[in-house]
Amino acid sequence: MSRLPVTVHLNIDGIKLKEFMEFTEFNFHPKIAAGVEAAGYVTPTPIQARAIPTVLAGRDVMGLAQTGTGKTAAFALPILQRLMGGRRGHVRTLIVVPTRELAEQIHAAISSLGQRTGLRSITVYGGVNINPQIARLKQGAEIVVACPGRLLDHISRKTIDLSRLEVLVLDEADQMFDMGFLPDIRRLLKHLPQQRQTLLFSATMPKEIRNLAKDVLRDPETVQVDLVAPAVTVSHALYPVEEACKTDLLLALLQHTDTGSVLVFTRTKHRAKRLGEKLVKIGYRAASLQGNLSQNRRQAALDGFRKGSYQILVATDIAARGIDVSQVSHVINYDMPNTTDAYIHRIGRTGRAARSGDAFTLVTNADRAMARGIERALGRTIERRFMEGFTPPTKTSVPDVTATEQATRHNRDGQSAGKRVQGVSPAGKSAPGRSKNSRRRRFSGRSAKPAAASVGR
Ligand code: AMP
């Protein structure tokens, strides 16, 4: 690193926080520091600045942070540091996650950050042949990233030995609860040593997660970053529209907005599939990600989106859980999410690690109450925008537009008050102007490369 370490003290939530420190200050093992440097990380994100010293000290952590805040490295780096000491060849860390995609993503981040350490990480999840997993477990891995169902399967077959486990991470605990995994988690806990370090991460804190935390964490340090407010770098807009005009409005938005990679959310698998197909027919480089796809096709859609060969990914909430695509410039809610938490999770896919992003939500009559709920969660009103040519639902049915908020009118040339918008035409010909690479990046003052996805099973 050419820059000298600079430490600026910030006061956030009443806690004096060393925000603009550098990774060098953690004194990681040189082999871990090499991985951090290769990933392009210079400045820790707030969750990293707070959680890393606590995890290094061996404390349990209750991490309230949404995806996109850098929480993976916040737990992965101190765990790697711990594993550099002690014996190898058996499972010492277990990371439990709700989805296969998140498992692969965390595994890739660990493989990248720990590329020089010689420590081995493997993934364990259902929907794929169990035998290769058994073989990899036999070969000895220090880190297992697992989904609960298949993990319990391995436990009952006695193909995994967790008796010498040192660290347990429960990631995206609220999602695991939503997906009905809490009974599995409790069953799993009975098979783990009592003496261990436990880290629990959740974007939101429903009662059930609070109870789980009480049971699994010992004298935890709570590390909270953006509990209910989404990443500050995301700007939000609501587009009132009739249900029947949604697709046309989406197409107009894509046409008239300067976008990088776009993640579009629909309510159902069927709608994701149909919308994805429609976009492809029109000429967009698009794919859909939904639960009916085989694991291979899901991975191909995700990989294609990550690499940029697909510019648009249409997904359902479940399919998109935990997706880390650092370069998502726009999240478009084609369908309003069912809960405010789902909204926060969806838009956590853009504005990641302090890059900026936009979240557009198409709002019909029926979505009025949910729009208000989201505004309450954000603690402010969201700008309503209107596209010329798209009649919003009748006045009484449009979510309330308060006096303080400015409704911005787009015209068909894409001009809106103070906001330049440029189109991305089908077949992915990006309009000139703001490109993916020219997007603002705040934490490090230099560009932060996303971790290379080296999957070293
Ligand atoms: P996560 O919340 O762990 O999914 O991380 C979101 C994204 O931020 C990932 O692409 C990480 O590679 C990236 N990231 C994590 N920590 C940093 C950092 N300190 N500086 C720059 N990018 C980071």
| Pocket of ligand 1 contains residue 259 by CB under 6 Å | no
- Residue by residue, pLDDT tens for the chain (457 residues) are 222 222 223 333 333 344 447 888 899 999 999 999 998 888 888 889 999 999 999 999 999 887 777 899 999 999 999 999 999 999 999 999 999 889 999 999 999 999 999 999 999 999 999 999 999 999 999 999 999 999 999 999 999 999 999 999 999 998 898 889 999 999 999 999 999 999 999 988 889 999 999 999 999 999 987 534 444 567 889 999 999 999 999 999 998 887 888 999 999 989 999 999 999 999 999 999 877 777 778 888 888 888 889 999 999 887 666 566 666 788 899 999 988 878 877 776 665 544 567 889 999 989 988 998 888 877 778 888 887 777 666 544 333 333 223 333 343 333 333 332 333 445 433 333 333 333 222 222 222 222 222 222 2
- Residue 101: its pLDDT value, please? 86
CA distances to 59, 62, 70, 187, 192 from 216, in Å:
13, 10, 23, 12, 11
Closest atom of ligand 1 to CA, residue 65: 2
Question: What residue ranges of the chain are covered by domains with CATH 3.40.50.300?
Answer: 11-225, 234-441
**Residue identifier of the C-alpha nearest atom 18 of ligand 1:** 41
Indicate the pairing of strand 415-416 with strand 419-420. Answer: antiparallel
State the Cα torsion 333-337-343-346 to the nearest 10°.
-60
Closest atom of ligand 1 to CA, residue 23: 19
Is the whole-model pTM more than 0.85?
A: no
Q: How far is the CA of 324 from the centre of ligand 1 (A)?
A: 9
Domain 234-441 CATH class label: alpha beta
Q: How far is the CA of 69 from the centre of ligand 1 (A)?
A: 7
CA angle 429, 261, 251 (to 5 degrees): 65
- Residue 166: its pLDDT value, please? 98
Q: Ligand 1 test: best mutation among 72, 106, 327, most atoms within 8 Å of CB?
A: 72
DSSP H helices, 114-206, are 130-139, 148-157, 173-178, 182-189
| Pocket of ligand 1 contains residue 69 by CB under 6 Å | yes
**Can you tell me the distance from the alpha carbon of 174 to that of 18, in angstroms, rounded to the nearest whole number?**
28
Q: How far is the CA of 68 from the centre of ligand 1 (A)?
A: 7
**Can you tell me the distance from the alpha carbon of 332 to that of 346, in angstroms, rounded to the nearest whole number?**
9
- Residue 92: its pLDDT value, please? 98
Tokens 């409005």: give the residue. 249
| Pocket of ligand 1 contains residue 26 by CB under 6 Å | no
- Residue 382: its pLDDT value, please? 87
| Pocket of ligand 1 contains residue 351 by CB under 6 Å | no
CB 311 within 8 A of CB 436: no
CB 152 within 8 A of CB 184: yes
**Can you tell me the distance from the alpha carbon of 356 to that of 97, in angstroms, rounded to the nearest whole number?**
27
Closest atom of ligand 1 to CA, residue 444: 20
Q: What is the DSSP string of 190-239?
A: TTS-SSSEEEEEESS--HHHHHHHHHH-SSPEEEEESSSSPPTTEEEEEE
| Pocket of ligand 1 contains residue 75 by CB under 6 Å | no
- Residue 226: its pLDDT value, please? 53
Domain 11-225 CATH class label: alpha beta
